[in-house]
Amino acid sequence: MANSIDFIGQLKNAARSCFALCGFQISRVDRRYREPPVMGTFPPHTEYSSIGDPENYFIHAGYRHRSEAIYYDDRANTDEWQREVYRFAREVFDKNCLKTVCDLGCGSAFKLLRYFRDCDPIGLDVSSTCEWLRKKYPAYTWLELDFKIAPPLQPDLVIAADIIEHLVDPNELLSYITALKPRYVVLSTPDRNLLRAGTHNGPPHNVAHIREWSFAELEAYLSTRFQILEHFISNAAQGTQCVLWAPYHAY
């Protein structure tokens, strides 16, 4: 056995020498670290339920928010993210015998049409995405999303899947939704405390995100304006929290 090991070692040394003459360097790779490192910073256990002040969107003091938004083009995506959010939205739609639905920040609209194709859904996004959607899906309605001017719609259900974390002023989104007067709203956003690459004190690891809420912070923020009906983790692996709410005027 010892002779075999010595012979293998001699072969390896000879191979290294040959490659070195050709200008190549063989180095050892530690295969224990081929998987991505476990990153992220998380709060002390005593802070998981803590919330901040209203002027900070109830995010804890000291959190660093980004000041500028980086547009994320979703047109290339299908159902890699938030698939279960749209499935849940469809369950709410059917359970409550709703008739109309609109999706804010619909992106590629893949998930919207997968689950609501039979409901004549309305998608809202930036003008360039709407132009692309009108060419690809001309049978449906695509409207430009302008938070300062709400369209003359009154959908039964509004979906806002992973859009709020991209906004410099998320209050604009909440006011816009209120102006639409829906019966129900399904909103999703990352739970900062579940993200492997998250940052407790900000800014978010995802450069397209302005800020990310913890579960407790989001509950406190939305509860100031809406009646929370359900709030749960819809996809722990992706760190997604999902909220079903109703405007107070609906009750």
Question: What's the pLDDT score for residue 132?
Answer: 96
pLDDT in tens, 63-92: 999 999 888 777 777 778 899 999 999 999
The backbone torsions φ and ψ at residue 149, rounded to the nearest 5 degrees and listed phi first, read -135, 110
Question: What's the pLDDT score for residue 79?
Answer: 75
Which residue ranges of the chain lie beneath pLDDT 50? Answer: 2
Is the separation of the CB atoms in 245 and 185 below 8 Å? yes
Spatial separation of the C-alpha atoms in residues 188 and 201, rounded to whole Å: 21
Element containing residue 234 per DSSP (H, E): strand 226-235
Spatial separation of the C-alpha atoms in residues 164 and 26, rounded to whole Å: 49
* Burial letters 104-114, b for 16+ CB under 10 A, else e: bbbbbbbbbbe
Question: What's the pLDDT score for residue 198?
Answer: 83
Helices (H) and strands (E) in the chain, counts: 6, 7
